[in-house]
Amino acid sequence: MQSKHTPILTVRQLSKSYPEPEKNSLFRRGMNHAVQNVSFDLYSGETLGIVGESGCGKSTVARLVMGLETPDAGSVVFHDTRIDQLPERSLRPLRPRFQMVFQDSGSSLNSRKRVVDILREPMLYHRIVTKDKAEARIDELLDMVGLSPSTKQRYPHEFSGGQRQRICIAKALSLDPELIILDEPVSALDVSVQAQILNLLRDLQEKLGVAYLFIGHGLGAVHYISHRIAVMYRGRIVEMGDSEEVFRHPAHPYTRALLDAAPLADYDARERERIVLRGEIGHTDWTEGCAFRSRCPYASEECTCIGSAMTSVPGAPEHLSACMAGTQERGV
Amino acid sequence: MKPLLEVKNLEVSFFQGKRQTRCTDRVSFDVKPGEILCLVGESGCGKSITALSILGLLSRAGRVTKGEILYQGRDLLKLREKELDAIRGREIAMIFQDIMYSLNPVFTIGNQMTEVIRRHLHYKQKDAEALSVELLQKTGITQPETVMRKFPHQLSGGMRQRVMIAMALACKPKLLIADEPTTALDVTIQLQIMQLLKQLRDETGMAILLITHDIGVVAEMADRVVVMYAGQCVEKAEARQLLESPAHPYTQALLKAVPGIHDDRSQRLASIPGTVPEEYQSMTGCRFAPRCPHGNVCCRNAQRVEIEPGHEVECCAILMRRQTNDAE
């Protein structure tokens, strides 16, 4: 494992916008700023969780890091190589080192191929193993993700959702990656199966030292798996820090509202005091100021010009928050 | 209090040619006026099938093969389609999870709302419009007139669910069946909808049968809870009883498997080993036994035990333990 101080993935000022038809106009096109100035580091053997509601840009971040989209601005550096501008051809030799697992395990496995072929093809393509050793490696991989090697002759539809997600994880692991990007890997699963997959991911990380970029909207699951958490709102990271620190002492009002909205499995929790957000994530072209100000219960005049840069929370240098409007005096 | 709705020993089967698949087995529960009863369980446990069968909305292959569904003493299963039509929407309304498919994409919201009101309450167009505006306002929509002119795709998921709720409220139903109403929504919007449903319950006194897979939603909303597993009710209790002292091993495991936002991260999450057996329909006795930490041979015939007033559980391990205690 590498030292904690050299990140394997460095993302700086990443931005991506998509054209979007403007409301009430057939011809004018507005821009949807899906990701704006997102920066973070990811260290070897670590999990960074990205949480946020739908449309906040968390999946776009994943696609940008994977090189499935080209950013408008900013950089993605994997070890020492800047990968965001690389042509597909030069990116290909690097691909085995960072892999992705998607939410929909059903559509990310080729339904006409047997599991054994699904797992073999990428390994042979990238010359990870020789033909004669592939079979043994596949058995090992299936065993590692908790599936019986005897199931390898089956087709994906013969497995349950949880088992299919295990196959996807095995597929990602087959190339010995240093980084796996997991885009909502447990959102489609039942709670009991979700717990199995989360535990599996944690065990694999311990064993193999692989780093995860875990994207999810289930706060409990993201908290459980992540060492550090980044909270996104409308394309920006609004708060980032140690997983426990962020959830225990949220510095940004949005994080607090999000945590308040998460239903707890506790009867008395229904009476607790909390921020209930009014309205919904709107569509505005703000690039200045705090993106959350239209719904924020603490918003003031100054939020129109400040609030997009991240600063350290007093007393916790690793804990960054984009809310500057006096976090301490509110006792948030 | 006399129950509003009583489901007794319900068995719903699906037929494929001659092959019969029993999807639910001896499902029994009741809903009292003004209460929120949560039906909770994982996918495939039969909770939605149970809800659909109440209003006779099962697809053609599905049929209630045993049991009865009593609404204010009348068996809904014995009613003719026309009589059932008078109950659907007026007495018992239903809202669904997939809000996109519950609204017609080619008509405006106003159009669809007034149609419901004219059809059920025989209002004139103008009065129906006025009532629609009032109902939309009640569900927290700030500009109801504008929303009335919009098409479903122009609204967000949360707004669409509000429209669905407004429509369901049109005839002041005594019972609202809500099938995973917040599952497709973000947590902050989910909280808004949950609070809206509770507020409407308090105002109108209607009962809500809420179907969900999320223990958090149960904790937030439920007065009483029915836990389902593999087509059977395994535990019935008051919400507090269930959350604080779950009795059935499945309920216990389910509660432990939910990662909480304030949990200690170093603690390993308790998962339930294995999966729901595929051929559970033909299993005799306790269907959770193969995954149960206490499972043993005696689980062949599950029996219902009442461990506290209002707290019923179907588990032989508990029954055995009680019997030995009593004998001593």
The DSSP annotation for B105-120 comes to: TTS-HHHHHHHHHHHH
Asked if the C-beta of B42 comes within 8 angstroms of chain A's C-beta atoms, the answer is yes
- Count of residues in chain A: 332
Asked if the C-beta of A256 comes within 8 angstroms of chain B's C-beta atoms, the answer is no
**Least confidently predicted of A321-325, B8-12, B227-231:** A321-325
The model's pLDDT over A236-284, given as tens digits with 9 standing for 90+, comes to: 999 999 999 999 999 999 999 999 998 888 888 888 888 888 777 665 5
Over 70: is that where the pLDDT of A102 sits? yes
The model's pLDDT over B87-120, given as tens digits with 9 standing for 90+, comes to: 998 999 999 887 778 899 999 999 999 999 998 9
Which of B191, B214, B250, B292 is the best residue to mutate to test the A interface, defined by the most A CB atoms within 10 Å of its own CB?
A: B191
Per-residue confidence band for A31, with pLDDT thresholds at 50, 70 and 90: confident
CA–CA min distance B158, chain A (Å): 8
**Least confidently predicted of A42-46, A192-196, B99-103, B250-254:** B99-103
pLDDT at B282: 78
Over 90: is that where the pLDDT of B17 sits? no
**Per-residue pLDDT averaged across A319-325, rounded?**
83
The model's pLDDT over B217-246, given as tens digits with 9 standing for 90+, comes to: 999 999 999 999 999 999 999 999 999 999
**Per-residue pLDDT averaged across B253-274, rounded?**
87
Compute the distance between CA of residue A321 and CA of residue A314 in angstroms, rounded to an integer.
10
**Least confidently predicted of A201-205, B106-110, B217-221, B296-300:** B296-300
Compute the distance between CA of residue B32 and CA of residue B140 in angstroms, rounded to an integer.
27
Q: Which residues contact residue A308 at a Cβ distance below 8 angstroms, ignoring those fewer than 6 apart?
A: A36, A37, A236, A288, A289, A290, A291, A322
Over 90: is that where the pLDDT of B158 sits? no
pLDDT at A165: 94
pLDDT at A286: 62
Using only C-alpha atoms, what is the Rg of chain A?
A: 21
Nearest to A221 among B240, B259, B270 (CB): B259
pLDDT at A4: 57
Residue matched to tokens 């403007």? A22
**Least confidently predicted of A133-137, A154-158, A194-198, B96-100:** B96-100
**Per-residue pLDDT averaged across B128-145, rounded?**
91
**Nearest residue of B to residue A272, measured between CA atoms:** B220
Compute the distance between CA of residue A128 and CA of residue A130 in angstroms, rounded to an integer.
7
* Interstrand relation of B19-22 and B5-16 (parallel, antiparallel or unpaired): antiparallel
Percent of chain B residues topping a pLDDT of 90: 60
**Least confidently predicted of B144-153, B251-260, B317-326:** B317-326
Over 90: is that where the pLDDT of B318 sits? no
Taking only residues 193 to 222 of chain B, the set having a beta carbon closer than 8 angstroms to any beta carbon of chain A reads: 194-195, 213-221
Residue B72, phi then psi, degrees to nearest 5 = 50, 40
How far is residue A281 CA from its own chain's centroid?
A: 20
pLDDT at B83: 92
pLDDT at A191: 87
Of A181, A185, A260, the C-alpha closest to A216 is A185
Residue A199, phi then psi, degrees to nearest 5 = -65, -40
pLDDT at A330: 44
Structure tokens at A144: 């590692």
Compute the distance between CA of residue B192 and CA of residue B254 in angstroms, rounded to an integer.
25
Asked if the C-beta of B100 comes within 8 angstroms of chain A's C-beta atoms, the answer is no
pLDDT at B115: 93
This prediction has a pTM of 0.89
- The CA distances from residue B196 to A143, B117, B157, B318, in Å, are 48, 21, 15, 39
pLDDT at A284: 57
Over 90: is that where the pLDDT of A300 sits? no
Inter-chain residue contact B260 with A220, CB threshold 8 Å: yes
Inter-chain residue contact A261 with B268, CB threshold 8 Å: no
pLDDT at A25: 63
**A126, A179 Cβ separation under 8 angstroms:** no
Ordered structural domains, chain A, with CATH: 9-21+28-330 (3.40.50.300)
| Per-residue b or e along A206-244, where b marks 16 or more CB atoms closer than 10 Å to that residue's CB | eeeebbbbbbbbbbbbbbbbbbbbbbbbbbbbbbbbbbb
From chain A, the residues in CB contact with B189 under 8 A are 53, 280
**Nearest residue of A to residue B240, measured between CA atoms:** A267
Structure tokens at A74: 């900013």
> Mean of the per-residue pLDDT values for chain A?
88
The model's pLDDT over B177-213, given as tens digits with 9 standing for 90+, comes to: 999 998 888 888 899 999 999 999 999 999 999 999 9
Angle, helices A115-125/A161-173, rounded to nearest 10 degrees: 20
Compute the distance between CA of residue B319 and CA of residue B306 in angstroms, rounded to an integer.
9
Over 60: is that where the pLDDT of B253 sits? yes
**B80, B165 Cβ separation under 8 angstroms:** no
The DSSP annotation for B16-76 comes to: ETTEEEE---SEEEEE-TT-EEEEE--TTSSHHHHHHHHTT---TTEEEEEEEEEETTEEG
CA–CA min distance B248, chain A (Å): 15
Q: If 0-12 CB within 10 Å is exposed, 13-18 middle and 19+ buried, where does residue A287 land?
A: middle
Compute the distance between CA of residue A10 and CA of residue B279 in angstroms, rounded to an integer.
49
**Secondary structure of residue A69 in the 3-state scheme:** coil
**Least confidently predicted of A141-145, A193-197, B254-258, B283-287:** B283-287
Over 60: is that where the pLDDT of A3 sits? no
Per-residue confidence band for A125, with pLDDT thresholds at 50, 70 and 90: very high
pLDDT at A328: 46
**B33, B4 Cβ separation under 8 angstroms:** yes
Q: What is the ipTM of this complex?
A: 0.85
Compute the distance between CA of residue B91 and CA of residue B290 in angstroms, rounded to an integer.
41
pLDDT at A225: 95
